[in-house]
Chains A and B, each alone.
Chain A
Amino acid sequence: GESVGLHLPTLSVQEGDNSIINCAYSNSASDYFIWYKQESGKGPQFIIDIRSNMDKRQGQRVTVLLNKTVKHLSLQIAATQPGDSAVYFCAEIFTNDMRFGAGTRLTVKP
């Protein structure tokens, strides 16, 4: 269902620690997933993607894990930096249908 007026989940981490942001998706037929980062006052930026035939994909300092059994996606950020502070949300795609999760606000403490 849709969230109405709920505050975003937040994650607060110390600079240099690793961050793990989780996302539950809804459509078991979704075959492509993207993590986006949205900084205050800006549009979403692509971070990393993964296809459903994979369960792990690594980028620079980021790793995405996909568990299709429980319809769960996670984003791991290594050595979190202050510039990583933003809202992160996942998107699931099935053909032309792209749906976004509500997002998680990551705050990095110096």
Chain B
Amino acid sequence: NAGVMQNPRHLVRRRGQEARLRCSPMKGHSHVYWYRQLPEEGLKFMVYLQKENIIDESGMPKERFSAEFPKEGPSILRIQQVVRGDSAAYFCASSYRDEGEQFFGPGTRLTVL
């Protein structure tokens, strides 16, 4: 049973470009969470999704950031018009139920030049 998969592992973008980060949850998991980790800081919650629904996006910046978890396929975190301050590691986690243990993916390290 494969764990949570994230790709790409490393992503380099220039300012103004778009970044798309993908997360495939563990088999059987329908809850996905996205977190951002800045250097030397803890994980910060961004958004919680179930299939086709955003449950809680209280940690998402109001502009340029969006997330989806379609009926088929991975969850996508999309960052439009990236800026240097978006450089961070982005982790996704999945769980079987809404209060279940979250299993983390390896993360995507985004670097904005």
Interface residues of A (CB under 8 A from B): 2-3, 5-8, 32, 34, 36, 41-46, 49, 89, 93, 95-103
9 other contacts beyond A32-B99, A100-B35, with CB at 8 A cut-off? A2-B44, A3-B41, A42-B107, A43-B93, A89-B42, A95-B99, A96-B99, A100-B44, A103-B42
Closest approach, in angstroms, between the C-beta of A1 and any C-beta of chain B?
12
Closest approach, in angstroms, between the C-beta of A97 and any C-beta of chain B?
8
Interface contact B101-A49, CB-CB below 8 Å: yes
Alpha-carbon gap, A46 to B42, bound state (A): 15
Q: For the complex, would chain A's binding face be called helix, strand, loop or mixed by DSSP majority?
A: loop
Please tell me the number of chain B residues within 8 Å of chain A, measured between CB atoms. 23
Alpha-carbon gap, A46 to B103, bound state (A): 8
Known: A96-B48, A103-B42. A42 touches B98 (CB 8 A): no
Interface contact B101-A89, CB-CB below 8 Å: no
